[in-house]
Amino acid sequence: MWRVWCPWVFLLSASAAQVDPGLSKRCVRRAHGLNLTQFQVLSTKHFQQGEQMGILNAPLHPDLLELAKVIWLRREVLLDGTGCPAAVVIAAVMFMLHDIKFAFASRNNLEHEGLFHRLSRLQKEMLLGMGLSHQTDGSWPFSEAARAYTEIVQWLNERVAASRPQWDPEPVDTSDEAHTQALEDVSVILEEEGDGRNPRWVWDWFPYSGTLIALLRHGLRSGHLDAVRDVVDHDVDVLVGVTSAEAWQTVRWNILHKLEQRGWDNCFSRTSVDAPSGDPKAALAREDLLLCTRTNPRISLDMGSYILGDRSIYVQRYCVGDVMGQDWGCYIPRLGTLRTRGGRLPRAAIYPLQRCKCGSFSVPCPARPLEVLKATMPGWNFSEHCLPLPDIAQRRARRDGSEADQADEEDSWVAEGLTAEDVQVLRDRAVELEKAGYMSMLPYFSTCDATSVEKKVGYPGYCQDGCDRFSG
């Protein structure tokens, strides 16, 4: 599930913001070189302006921001017993209002993550200042600051709720052209990240999951059979190899901004570790995934990352420090993208990289595709399925279980199943890809026995005349 970054919600009432009558005067006298009187006046005027045009829309005066900055830098002095905690409270709210201006332009949860982190720090100091302030002086605009903070929290909650559907988007209908363009975007961006002009943070990348199956089978997202079309993939799945977890933190920002330049709409960071937010496994996990969406044309990109070890690649690495006098060190957990293989995969499964056809260009592909697919597709029984063939039985079950009448021209053949001619087209295509120097499904036809072929086709007895042609 997506990791959600939200500020804690504290509703501050006017009655909780009462101050000692002489506190403001003592603050001014003990100004520590700060013009707190001017800050008090400017902040009061700002809140008055906010009542007229909306506090989130009211422009912040440069002098007010400059004073808030100086006060913030001296907050430790102002929060002590003889200081002026009221000024820190108002300065924190001013910075929150300032940061919200930039939040309107935030387009991904990495930017929201940074925003929420800053707001939580400001909130901590604000609440500390409120607690240190005494009751009753009306010279500092506490009530107005509390209302402003409440509006900030409400706005953020509404923004998070509005973006929630994009965290786990439903599969969308796309086209071969959109799918190919997405892979081309990824190829260009990652080649830039990994070439000699930049630090070698990105080592390699390759497609996996449904995208890898599509390119091995057709050299595209879909392919024509004898009289029908086999649509394999509905999004783009790639894995990016980086030199360290720290490198991914920088690389994902670079990738994100370059995707936005190419017309992608939103990107959201998450972890592949499926654990509740309060679980220690989730707390130790790094955010190794980046999901991006584009609406025109409609397509989604699921980008995972792995780290290159000496003999293997891995996704997660947990380091546990001193616990009750014992240093537990670091280990690779059996979690995340590679959980079906104990959390790691031999480098030999990836390297040396080969090439897969993708329309008019090619992309890197792992040296042992089947091993990668088994490691990254939990729940898929490869021993019972004939990988080179479309899984008609599964598609039929999915179609029969759908609520709407979704049998379009592309899937009308699901009811009848594959024909011998369809199977021959797939085999001929695999031979053509191999001859052109690309990876294909050709090595995997020999792994299909009669039982698995009949399950994929969806009709018992399909191989009654023999399916030995798969081993030839």
Domain annotation for the chain: domains and CATH numbers = 14-166 (no CATH), 170-377 (3.30.460.10), 381-472 (no CATH)
| Helix, strand, coil % over all residues of the chain, rounded to 5 | 50, 15, 35
- Determine if residue 202 is left, alpha or beta; phi over 0 gives left, psi from -120 to 50 gives alpha, anything else beta: beta
CB 390, CB 397: distance < 8 Å: no
Q: Tell the residue number behind the tokens 């759908």, with chain if given.
A: 402
Residue-wise pLDDT tens for the chain (472 aa)?
A: 333 333 333 333 333 334 344 445 455 445 556 788 899 999 999 999 999 888 888 888 889 989 999 898 888 888 876 678 888 999 999 988 887 766 655 555 556 666 666 777 788 888 888 777 754 456 888 888 889 988 888 887 776 666 666 555 555 678 899 999 999 999 999 888 765 445 566 678 999 999 999 999 999 999 988 777 888 888 999 999 998 998 898 888 889 889 989 999 878 888 899 887 667 888 888 889 988 888 888 899 999 999 999 899 999 999 876 555 566 688 999 999 999 999 999 999 999 999 999 999 999 999 999 999 999 998 777 777 788 888 776 666 555 555 444 444 445 556 666 777 888 899 999 999 999 999 999 999 887 766 556 555 555 555 545 455 454 4
What's the CA gap between 100 and 311, in Å, rounded?
46
Query: pTM of the entire structure?
Result: 0.68
Give 118-172 as a DSSP string. Answer: HHHHHHHHHHHHHHHS-S---SS-HHHHHHHHHHHHHHHHHHHHHHGGGTSPPP-
DSSP label at 444?
G
* CA angle at 372 for the pair 228 and 413, rounded to the nearest 5°: 15
